[in-house]
Amino acid sequence: MNLSILFKHPEINVVVCEDRRKGMNIILKNLSDTELCIWDDVFQHRFVKPGLMILSTTFQYPFIRMRFFQSEI
Could you tell me which of 14, 18, 20 has the C-alpha nearest to residue 1?
14
Q: Burial, 20: exposed, middle or buried (Cβ in 10 Å; 0-12, 13-18, 19+)? A: middle
| pTM score | 0.57
* pLDDT tens for the 73 residues of the chain, in order: 567 877 888 888 888 888 888 888 899 899 989 888 887 776 677 777 778 777 777 777 766 655 655 555 4
CA–CA dist 72, 5 (Å, integer): 36
